Structure 1
Amino acid sequence: MAASYISVPRDLTKIKSKVMFNLTKRQLICFSVAALIGVPSFFLLKQIGSTSMAAMGMMVVMMPLFFLAMYEKNGQPLEVIMGHFIQANFIRPKIRPYQTNNYYAALMRQAQLEKEVESIVRCSKENVR
């Protein structure tokens, strides 16, 4: 009699609850939206051209939703990864110089400002006399 083994993942946080057809809720939603967009596009493209062209067009329309459903890297879905990519490459500045808030420099700036205020007050008192 042969022993059968079941593989158990070591990290239980990576396990996702399956809803139906061994798919997660996210996958079901994305596949449903892909079908709702892809099937009508197939029939519209079939009227314009050939069946093979319509099938290719349907695949082009449905692929981004399949990627949204299935792709995940480091526990982050595709839209989060794309958001980080857009932030890093287009929104945030490219050069971010390192700046420290030196406490000694802050004290020196404060002392300089106090000297300036004191000299302004002294000049205004002399002008009043």
Structure 2
Amino acid sequence: MAAYISVPRDLANVKTKVAFNLTKRQLICFGAAALVGVPLFFVLRDVGGNTAATLGMMIVMLPAFFLGMYQKNGQPAEKLLRYYVQAKFLRPKVRPYKTCNYYSILKKEVTFRDESSEKDR
């Protein structure tokens, strides 16, 4: 039995790991989640006990974990969310198909020339 390492076929998708086998993006998101969640745990523990504090901390930290981990088609979650908001709310629902017919423009120009030449006579 020889030891082997599996190498992915597309090396463009390989992310460089910074520390603890996490990327820089994941480290920033997890650090921000810990920065917000841990103090919240200690505040909520005095008010509602350990169980409520743990649940509150998890609810507050989950969006940051989601932003750090989720990717679809190589795009992070905030880009996908921005595209979704643009498609649903900002851009018009019906996008009519419009073409620029150069033949009709030339035809209008010819008729305009003919009309203007008739007026000059």
TM-score (norm 2): 0.89
- Alpha-carbon deviation of 1:109? 3.4
3-state DSSP of counterpart to 2:88: helix
Residue in structure 1 matched with residue 20 of structure 2 by the alignment: 21
Q: Which runs of 5+ in 2 are unaligned?
A: none
User: Which letter maps to 1:61?
Assistant: V
Residue in structure 2 matched with residue 87 of structure 1 by the alignment: 86
Q: Which runs of 5+ in 1 are unaligned?
A: none
Q: Distance in 1 between matches of 2:114 and 2:35?
A: 72
- Alpha-carbon deviation of 1:36? 0.3
| 1:107-126 Cα distance to aligned partner (Å, 9 max, x none) | 2333455567x39xx5xx9x
Larger Rg: 1
Question: Where does 1:12-91 land on structure 2 (aligned, <5 Å)?
Answer: 12-91=11-90
| 1:45-94 Cα distance to aligned partner (Å, 9 max, x none) | 11221211110010000000000100011100001111111111111101
Q: Paired residues, what number? A: 119
Provide the alpha-carbon RMSD of the alignment: 1.8
User: Which letter maps to 2:71?
Assistant: E
TM-score (norm 1): 0.83
